A and B are shown apart, each in its own frame.
Chain A
Amino acid sequence: MKNTFCIGGVHPHDNKSYSAHKSIVEAPLPKQAVVLLAQHIGAPAQPVVAVGDKVQVGTLLAKAGGFVSAPVHSPVSGKVVKIDNVLDGQGAPAPAIFIDVEGDEWLPTIDRSKALVPECTLDPKDIIQKIQDAGIVGLGGACFPTHVKLMPPPGKKAEVLIVNGVECEPYLTNDHQLMLEHGEEIMIGIRIVMKALGVTRAIIGIEANKPDAIKHMSDLAARVLGIEVRALKVKYPQGGEKQLIDACIDRQVPSGALPIETGAVVDNVATLYAIYEAVQKNKPLISRVMTITGKHVKKPGNYLVRFGTPTSELVELVGGVPAHTGEVIAGGPMMGRSMSNIETAPTNKRMSALLFMPEDECYRPEPSPCIRCAKCVEACPMGLEPYLLSSMAKGEEWEEMEAHKVMDCIDCGSCVFTCPAHRPLLDGIRAGKGKVGAMIRERQAAAAKK
């Protein structure tokens, strides 16, 4: 049986040992929580609280701004003191709700006990409604609102749920640890989503570098009909939605189409855990497990962090910024974003990790001319020609870039990772995606007018 995706891929050093197998520790509550209104792909949420309002943990702070959007709930209890912009991790202003924390009072409807609630009697429609109301988005990185995925467009039918336990980004161990500690809850989450989608089959994809998680999840899956665990060969970017579908069911999402075209719906293990908590425990999405790590971090580990916690408090939690840190990254080293603001930037649904990279590892040699070694072509998991797209971008040949499928690029960074000439191939490709995307939207708008 096939155990990985078919085209390209790279093998970065996984560096997971720093935080692997460290039990999930609850991070202390912040003094002030700053809750971003846009923590997902789609329209930002619209505030429904006013300055001076008292809120509890789980109180709705902002309602969804549209269908492709997600509501935001209060991760703390206290008083709303300000609705204003805050500087995010990249130093850009982002609208947020500021709450001064007072105690830790939860909405009485939330079941905070540790007891498992295995049975779900809701019908599919109610399950999806509950997921939507809980503000659940894909916690693997993209933050796409989950309820949208669970409602395939008319004419499309889901056949299989694929569970993403791959965690192919180096350094990250949060999903791994979550599977080890909350495997039962994830299994119930899987059954709930299977019910919501009306499918009888689920495949959990886990890379072979997590044998204990594979064993644990396999033991749990053996008790449930229709759920199987697939041990996958370690290769980046296996956690990419299209790559994972290919690896698990040997079907490829056609260019420009949605994953549902293959009959598969993919959800991350952390998302499924959140779904369990939302549906069975009435707990909206207010926190997530984050890996805080790096080669020289004093106390690397997996931390359960409430959203809105300023980055500075997380830095303190792990023993401060290590000496000779060159770059701090929100997320993993392959696709994460480097942060310029590690003081006030608040944690959010998107932030899966905080990674401190030592100075000597962030140093990049000057790019030299392309020697046409074709290693980028071999590495690209989408079968694109990064060297060519990058030179087309330089010449602003946007139409040519579209013809060469630039929109298929998943931004995984395998080409830049592998380039022996250290060329910043993705810079041009990203510019091209922006331009070509705008061109396509214009064309669609023009066609709609006719």
Chain B
Amino acid sequence: MSQLMTSAAPHVHSGDSVQKNMLLVIIALLPAFAVSIVAFGWGALITTAISVVTCVLAEWCIAKYMLKQQPSLCDLSAVLTGLLLAMNLPSNLPWWMVILGAVFAIGIGKMVFGGIGQNVFNPALVGRVFLLISFPAAMTTWPVAKGFATRYLDAETAATPLSYMKHAVIENKQFELDSFLDSFLSCVPEHIMGGSMGEISALALLIGGLFLICMRVISWHIPVSVLGTIAVFTGILSACGIGSGPLTHLLTGGVMLGAIFMATDYVTSPMTAWGKIIFGVGIGVIVVVIRTWGSYPEGMSFAILIMNGCVPLLNRIAPKRFGEIAKK
């Protein structure tokens, strides 16, 4: 019986894998992706395809030729980064900018740190912010949602509710959405707000978020603390006559996408329940500050990246230890 294996306990495994988790996040993104196709037609498909393919190729090339590692594309993390990046872009962004953003996301956002699990900042957001700073005009020109009638490059463009919000603050007025329900549901093109591909339907994003929580891919702590903080903070501000009300803030821009999909990225979020809550509160506060007083209309990407930088510190918060409560 010399061929018997021996190994240290435990001898069974839950069957969970990195690949499975990434796949579930991709599945959770599908409703929002579907809405963006309905809204922006070919542009959404083209931008997403370019982004995903570029991320995968970039990861493969860098791993193989620069880091001399075995490329680990099977874990689907590069596919997810590509998909998330696309969700954070306007659907009519020129193709070469998408490629540039994707290469930057994988190269500078992830691989320079040593690949999966090592990066400090969310790679997709690194790519997005790089594009936002380099090509501010292209990154803030949003196509009007007309379904497949929306043309990829020279589409009719429109401002987003967030830019109205910003102008309103500058002019010391308050802006509110006309119909919260429309912006919540937004699956009929005429009712869709302008914006990045993945941020137009709060409902689709929430469905994905609930799916992730039910499948135990993510815990509730980060989404709830981000959204809760934004609601409370903007509630107080709007009561004082500054800025828009909580619902307008929650349903516009990247808040839902950020709270549910970007801030919950495993690698760049804290490990313990309290760490996650503080992380979420920090994001909420920063995003409201940027939206209200900053020079950008939207601050979700910056807020998440700033809090990403705090994660090593937040990880010093120990989890609730067994036996701590009983000490008398």
Contacts and interface: CB of A to CB of B under 8 A. Distances in A.
A60 interface: no
Nearest to B272: A377
Contact of B10 (A90, A262, A334): A334
A97 interface: no
B88 to A, nearest CB: 21
B115 to A, nearest CB: 7
A100 interface: no
A368 interface: yes
A252 B5 contact: no
A378 B319 CA distance: 9
A372 B271 contact: yes
Interface string B1-32: 10011111111111011101100000000000
A246 B320 CA distance: 15
B5 A326 contact: yes
A417 B12 contact: yes
A13 B13 CA distance: 10
B133 interface: no
Contacts, number: 163
Contacts of B320: 7, 383
A384 B321 contact: yes
B325 A10 contact: no
A370 interface: yes
A339 interface: yes
A328 B11 CA distance: 10
A404 B116 CA distance: 26
A364 B115 CA distance: 23
Contact of A327 (B11, B315, B321): B11
A383 B20 contact: no
Contact of B9 (A251, A365, A413): A413
Contact of A342 (B4, B21, B219, B321): B4
A171 B321 CA distance: 29
A369 B7 contact: no
Nearest to B77: A371
Interface string A382-426: 111101100000000000000011001001010011111110101
B7 A327 contact: yes
A421 B16 CA distance: 8
B271 to A, nearest CB: 4
A319 B13 CA distance: 27
A340 B6 contact: yes
A371 B81 CA distance: 14
A374 B271 contact: yes
Q: Which of B115, B219, B315 counts the most chain A CB atoms within 10 A?
A: B315
Interface in A270-315: none
By size class, the interface of chain B is 35 or more
A328 B4 contact: yes
A374 B325 CA distance: 22
B322 interface: yes
Interface string A341-381: 01100000000000001000110110011111111011011
A382 B323 CA distance: 8
A251 B324 CA distance: 11
A12 interface: yes
B23 to A, nearest CB: 11
A255 B75 CA distance: 38
Interface string A101-113: 0000000000000
A321 interface: yes
B106 to A, nearest CB: 16
A385 B318 CA distance: 8
A373 B266 contact: yes
Contacts of A262: 326
A377 B75 contact: no
A326 B12 CA distance: 12
B11 A242 contact: no
Contact of A340 (B4, B267, B269): B4
B8 A426 contact: yes
B7 A382 contact: no
B14 A418 contact: yes
Contacts of B21: 371, 373, 420
A69 interface: no
B163 interface: no
B117 interface: yes
A371 B16 CA distance: 13
Interface in A235-271: 242, 246, 251-255, 257, 262
Contacts of B20: 420
Nearest to B1: A342
A368 B72 contact: yes
A202 interface: no
Contacts of A365: 17
Contact of A335 (B6, B9, B17): B9
B327 interface: yes
Contacts of A419: 16
A375 B16 contact: yes
B14 A417 contact: yes
Given A381-B322, A383-B324, A361 B12 contact: yes
Interface string A179-212: 0000000000000000000000000000000000
A253 B323 CA distance: 5
Nearest to B22: A371
Nearest to A315: B1
B5 A338 contact: yes
Between A170, A375, A404, the greatest number of chain B beta carbons within 10 A of the residue's beta carbon is seen for A375
Contact of B323 (A252, A321, A329): A252
B118 interface: yes
Given A338-B6, A426-B10, 17 more contacts: A12-B12, A90-B6, A333-B9, A338-B4, A338-B11, A362-B5, A364-B13, A370-B117, A371-B77, A371-B117, A374-B270, A377-B271, A408-B321, A408-B323, A411-B9, A417-B14, A426-B8
Interface of B: 1, 4-14, 16-18, 20-21, 72, 75, 77, 115-118, 219, 266-267, 269-272, 315, 318-327
28 contacts: A7-B320, A170-B12, A246-B322, A252-B322, A252-B324, A254-B326, A254-B327, A262-B326, A327-B11, A333-B10, A334-B11, A335-B9, A336-B11, A339-B6, A342-B1, A342-B4, A365-B17, A369-B116, A369-B118, A371-B117, A372-B269, A377-B272, A384-B321, A388-B315, A417-B12, A418-B16, A420-B20, A426-B10
